[in-house]
Structure 1
Amino acid sequence: MKQVYLDQSISVNDVICLDTKQAHHIFDVLRTTQKEKIRIITKNSGVFFGHVEN
């Protein structure tokens, strides 16, 4: 499963906008497609699951 690290705190049902560098990594390097599930790791060691919209 593809994953991204966020240097911020989030909670369940939050909508997250990635910065340019993270978006490049998710879409261009890892070739993530829309609605594909990803793992989100946060700075406070939280692990969340989500999906890519755009």
Structure 2
Amino acid sequence: MAEILLRRPDVEARTGLSRSTIYDWMKRGEFPQPVKLGARIVAWRASDVVAWLEARETKAV
């Protein structure tokens, strides 16, 4: 089965994070790294974003 890839606006909508927060947390290793699709195009694996969200929910409980 093909992996679903999410562009930044979709990641922002699903996580509620801003662009700057996503990139800052990526730099600190606290958010999944994107997949490079081209010279200036990246996307995140939906499974990575879902796993990250689930881990955050577990920590909050």
Q: Which has the larger radius of gyration?
A: 2
Higher helix share: 2
Higher strand share: 1
Greater relative contact order structure (CA < 8 Å, 6+ sep): 1
